[in-house]
Chain A
Amino acid sequence: DAGVIQSPRHEVTEMGQEVTLRCKPISGHNSLFWYRQTMMRGLELLIYFNNNVPIDDSGMPEDRFSAKMPNASFSTLKIQPSEPRDSAVYFCASSFYGLAEVSYEQYFGPGTRLTVT
């Protein structure tokens, strides 16, 4: 199994530019989570999807942030326009939640390190 795949691994951009982070969850998983990790705030849940539907986006910091999951194997997190305070490591994680079986634990991708100058 390839695990959760994220791209790019590193992104450096200038303030005001649009940034798109990508995630491919583990095949067969039906839940997907986006997190942000910083030294100051630790690991924050931004949004999560179940069966491609956004369930809770209360962690999304501002309207500049948006996330989509057009199908079971792909999700994007977009920041437009980006600001220096968005600099962080962004993680995608996936899990399986079913009627008869739930794994509960999440499997994380390697992260995207975003630097906004």
Chain B
Amino acid sequence: AQSVAQPEDQVNVAEGNPLTVKCTYSVSGNPYLFWYVQYPNRGLQFLLKYITGDNLVKGSYGFEAEFNKSQTSFHLKKPSALVSDSALYFCAVSPANTGGFKTIFGAGTRLFVKA
């Protein structure tokens, strides 16, 4: 079965410290990988994606993620967290054989950044 796992329900980090939000996936074939962020009472906002090419992708607001094929992971990172980064983060995968249409979302990880 195709799935996305975000092993941490919540991540706590102090402002200014680096942050990592973990994601692993299980899909057949090549995956298209995404990170989205959701603020309270808002829709999801696209942060970054990996389709092909360089395994390290950079996105909005200073976030980046690294595609690791052998570990089937796509962890989200930021060198220095801000209080305003506090939100719900979703990892998503779209199997390439669906043409990128069918996107499976993880359960989400809530990030708290303390001042």
Which residues of B sit under 8 angstroms from A91, Cβ to Cβ? 43-44
Number of residue pairs A-B, CB distance < 8 angstroms:
52
Chain B stretch 4-39: residues in CB contact (< 8 A) with chain A: 32, 34, 36
Most chain B beta-carbon contacts within 10 A, residue among A42, A43, A91: A43
B34 and A108 contact, CB distance less than 8 A = no
When each residue 78-117 of chain A gets 1 if its CB lies under 8 Å from chain B and 0 otherwise, what string results? 0000000000000101000100001011111111000000
**Chain A residues near B34 (CB, 8 Å)?**
104-105
Q: A91-B44, A110-B43 are in contact. Are A55 and B49 (CB under 8 A)?
A: no
Given the known interface contacts A42-B107, A104-B49, A104-B51, the answer about A109 and B43 at a Cβ–Cβ threshold of 8 Å is: yes
Q: Kindly state whether residue A31 has any CB partner on chain B within 8 Å.
A: yes
A110 to chain B: which residues have CB within 8 Å? 41-43
A13 within 8 A of B: no
Chain B positions within 8 Å of A104 at CB level: 32, 34, 49, 51, 94, 100
B43 touches A45 (CB 8 A): no
* Contact surface of B with A, Cβ cutoff 8 Å: 32, 34, 36, 41-46, 49, 51, 90, 94, 99-108
Residues of A within 8 A of B (CB): 4, 31, 33, 42-43, 45, 48, 50, 55-56, 91, 93, 97, 102, 104-111
